[in-house]
Amino acid sequence: MLHIDSETFVPFLIFSIPIVAIVGGVTAGIVRTLGQQRIMELAQRERIAAIERGIDPSKLPPMPSYVPMRGMGGGMMGPYGSYSDYARHRAQGLVIGGLVCLFVGAALTVFFLTVGEGEAHSAWAIGLIPGGVGVALLLGAAITHPRDGGTASSPPSA
């Protein structure tokens, strides 16, 4: 029978978490890119088929919009009709992520304050890490939230 003790399992577990996170992030990026490509391809096929049937191209719905994003590559806006819709959705995502991280940090802090004894009592500071990330995400949402009342139709110039 295979016996796994904590001296071999804990280091394996510690190093497997970042590896799984990196592989998952790369996989999510690939799946998203393939999904965006498929949406654009289907929209183009639908448009070509409608034109072949004699439908006026000006009466067809617009193609999925493309908004260049800062950083590597770019991205399609997908269901968003304008850049302001995309910007509001991005800011909303930052707020949600920030609140989740902030409350996880607070919960960890309270948990380690109530559970720890002796030297373990100082482990409450572990909660400051996700709490700090949450505050940073909330600040990012405040900075990137569109200020023009939602009337912007193009991305800001870099």
119 and 148 in a common domain: yes
Whether 158 is in a domain gets the answer no
Under the banding of pLDDT at 50, 70 and 90, the label for residue 39 is: confident
The Cα 36–Cα 30 span in angstroms is 10
94 and 36 in a common domain: no
Q: Is the pTM of this model over 0.75?
A: no
What does 11-34 look like in DSSP terms, one character per residue?
Answer: HHHHHHHHHHHHHHHHHHHHHHHH
Q: Indicate the number of domains in the chain.
A: 2
57 and 31 in a common domain: yes
Say yes or no to pLDDT of 144 above 80. Answer: yes
30 and 56 in a common domain: yes
Nearest to 140 by CA among 93, 83, 104, 86: 93
- Average predicted confidence (pLDDT) for the chain: 78
Whether 73 is in a domain gets the answer no
94 and 35 in a common domain: no
For residue 7, give its domain range. 1-64
43 and 5 in a common domain: yes
Higher-pLDDT residue of 63, 156: 63
| Burial category of 36 from C-beta neighbours within 10 Å (exposed 0-12, middle 13-18, buried 19 and up) | middle
Structure tokens at 153: 């139709």
Residue at a domain's end among 32, 64, 96: 64
* Residue 67: its H or E element: strand 66-67
